[in-house]
Amino acid sequence: MNVAETTTAARWTAGPAAAGGVGSRAVAMAPGTAVAPAAAPARSPLSKSQQAYESIKDKILSGEYSPGYRLVLAKLADELGVSAVPVREAIRRLEAESFLTFERNVGASVAGIDPTEYLYTMQTLSIVEGAATGLSAPFLTAADIGRARDINAAMRGCLEHFDPVRFTTLNLEFHSVLFEKCPNPHILDLVHRGWNRLRSLRSSTFNYVPGRARESVEEHERLLQLLEGGATADDVERAARGHRTATLDAYLAHSRNEAPDSVPWLP
Amino acid sequence: MNVAETTTAARWTAGPAAAGGVGSRAVAMAPGTAVAPAAAPARSPLSKSQQAYESIKDKILSGEYSPGYRLVLAKLADELGVSAVPVREAIRRLEAESFLTFERNVGASVAGIDPTEYLYTMQTLSIVEGAATGLSAPFLTAADIGRARDINAAMRGCLEHFDPVRFTTLNLEFHSVLFEKCPNPHILDLVHRGWNRLRSLRSSTFNYVPGRARESVEEHERLLQLLEGGATADDVERAARGHRTATLDAYLAHSRNEAPDSVPWLP
DNA sequence: GAGTATGAAATCGTATACGATCCATTGTTA
DNA sequence: TAACAATGGATCGTATACGATTTCATACTC
């Protein structure tokens, strides 16, 4: 066994490369999964595979490629001025992150967003974001809380001027402030993925539930007060999860016109 | 915008392909991420890309490629009797699922498992597995509970005969019974990924904490009683999460010989 | 002797080429 | 006319080829 290890020996120190101690938090984050792509070093001209990955992902998130949209390899390759091979690799990565679905000998299309998917994503996000916010709480400074409160004020402003797009953007910003200090990068990554998933639903029917926005702003304020009061991580987690679950319930009540508890598996 | 959509028109019903209703739970699961690869249809000879993916993943999980192991594209391609291209795609998928790390112009190596990683993974698993178990609880039948109890009995047997490998396997089986009925495939997928991550730590130093195994079996029994008593999903979630957190604490206490609460961010 | 240039080998990255597969359409038959 | 089989074009899957980059080992300078 371990045939390869004994060949072409000298390069690479074989054996477990215990790279990085406690500080190396970024090591396990899948690259490029952050909601806001963290300022890229941009040293060498990025590999074409990487370019393709980012380009396609951006277009999905921006809505240029809407759900169900057919992605043809050759066409993408042409648009990017590269050959098909790097595009295939990009597609594979995007598939693994469920930005799109891929079928053998058929091709790729942008991941669907049927209502069921929305439910699943929101529920998952309620759990991981709740946990992330709870874990993040002890690290939040007064300045953080202040910043969050400012954002929430701006959201209140959006209500007056009826600017749902900006409202949604600010909403992500608000929550980012609260969960971004979560010290566990895995959990943080899951939260980012969840939000990314939801981002591609913008301009879809899911986003706006009448009245929910106003309620949401108030819940934000309550959450901030909880944090200021030095609540336990557990309480914060529960509140954050509840906030998201409430949005989901509002969506369900609105779309089905029936009580949310008709979905028995929601906590 | 949406240039591609208007070309080569006829094929594919363009527009959102709302594929599948509530029943189509598998649609969003990244293929092949299950802990136990669900019986493959094996219709056409799997694409070489897929073969490569599974082969490499298996070898990582089985420990044949241990952490830090260098994966050379050409070598893998040779071993599988394919060219480099499909192997690259497999690598990309595995990278996105963080089975391995990949560096531009350098290559891939099996993902590391430094203690910090272990902590992060366990903590994440405590959260998502706890949630999955809680959501799964209402769907568990008496037969399921019985099966779990049988498995737990077998685990108790392993304690007598000192069979830690089998113990670990059974441990996964036990918990699988309890979380596998979680109706949210996203969450379930996260749980599978977490367990997969841990699987590659077998034969590593992390697995065995003296005394913890016996305690674990008892906690299992308590969890089963909770389920039989018709506890709320919330209680079950809390118990399941606590069970895993306790394992993590035991590891921390054992490895550092200091109190677990020296890690302030654990719930 | 320590540190730095240089060259060769290994390996990765991408383009191109071509066979394999699928889908939609057309043509055929009961 | 409805069901079915043949056909053709579009697209995917993979092999091969070759340039680009990194890494290691040696030779050289201070």
Write the DSSP string, A14-73.
-S------TT-GGGGSPTT-SSS-------S---HHHHHHHHHHHHHHHTSS-TT-EE-H
Cβ within 8 Å of A, B 140-179: none
Per-residue model confidence (pLDDT) at position B265:
42
**One domain for residues A104 and A140:** no
Indicate whether B95 pLDDT > 60.
yes
Q: How many CA atoms lie within 13 A of B22 on its CB side?
A: 3
**One domain for residues A200 and A84:** no
In a domain, B20, yes or no: no
**One domain for residues B153 and B242:** yes
Per-residue model confidence (pLDDT) at position A17:
36
Per-residue model confidence (pLDDT) at position B101:
95
In a domain, B168, yes or no: yes
In a domain, B240, yes or no: yes
In a domain, A21, yes or no: no
Q: Closest nt to B44 (CA→C1')? A: C21
Indicate whether A6 pLDDT > 60.
no
| B230 three-class SS | coil
- Of B2, B89, B183, nearest to A64 by CB-CB distance is B2
**One domain for residues B106 and B119:** no
In a domain, A210, yes or no: yes
- Among the three residues A110, A133, A165, which one is the final residue of a domain in this structure? A110
**One domain for residues A170 and A79:** no
In a domain, B177, yes or no: yes
Structure tokens at A7: 């060949």
A65 pLDDT band, cuts 50/70/90, is: very high
Per-residue model confidence (pLDDT) at position B44:
63
Span A232-250, average pLDDT: 96
* Average model confidence (pLDDT) across chain A: 81
Per-residue model confidence (pLDDT) at position A258:
46
How distant is the alpha carbon of residue A255 from its chain centre? 24
Q: Average the pLDDT over each of A135-149, B8-22, B95-109, B195-209 and give the range with the smallest value.
A: B8-22
Per-residue model confidence (pLDDT) at position B254:
83
Contact A118, A201 (CB under 8 A): yes
Q: Which residue would you say has higher pLDDT here, A64 or B34?
A: A64
Angle between helices A164-179 and A142-161 (to 10 degrees): 170
CATH number at residue A104: 1.10.10.10
**One domain for residues A141 and A105:** no
Which residues constitute the domain of residue A78? 46-110
Residue A185, chain B, CB below 8 Å: the answer is yes
CB pairs < 8 Å spanning A and B:
188
**One domain for residues B212 and B119:** yes
Which of A58, A59, A127 should we substitute to test contact with B (largest number of B Cβ atoms within 10 Å)?
A: A127
**One domain for residues A128 and A238:** yes
**One domain for residues A99 and A186:** no
In a domain, A143, yes or no: yes
- Among the three residues A93, A110, A127, which one is the final residue of a domain in this structure? A110
Strand C lies under 7 A from the Cβ of residue B72: yes
CB contact under 8 A, A116 and B22: yes
Residue A256, chain B, CB below 8 Å: the answer is no
CA atoms of B27 and A120, how far apart (whole Å): 12
**One domain for residues A254 and A147:** yes
- Among the three residues A110, A130, A165, which one is the final residue of a domain in this structure? A110
Residue B245, chain A, CB below 8 Å: the answer is no
Name the domain count of chain B: 2
Q: Which residues of B109-127 are buried (b: 16+ CB within 10 A; e: fewer)?
A: bbbbbbbbbbbbbbbbbbb
In a domain, A7, yes or no: no
Q: Tokens 């240029």 label which residue?
A: A64
CA atoms of A54 and A38, how far apart (whole Å): 13
**φ/ψ of residue B259, rounded to 5:** -65, 140
Nearest CA in chain A to B114: A18
Strand D lies under 7 A from the Cβ of residue B57: no
**One domain for residues A105 and A75:** yes
Closest CA to A111 of A54, A76, A60: A60
Indicate whether B237 pLDDT > 80.
yes
Q: Nucleic chain D: which protein residues 2-21 of A have CB below 7 A from it?
A: 10-12
**One domain for residues A236 and A104:** no
Nearest CA in chain A to B117: A28
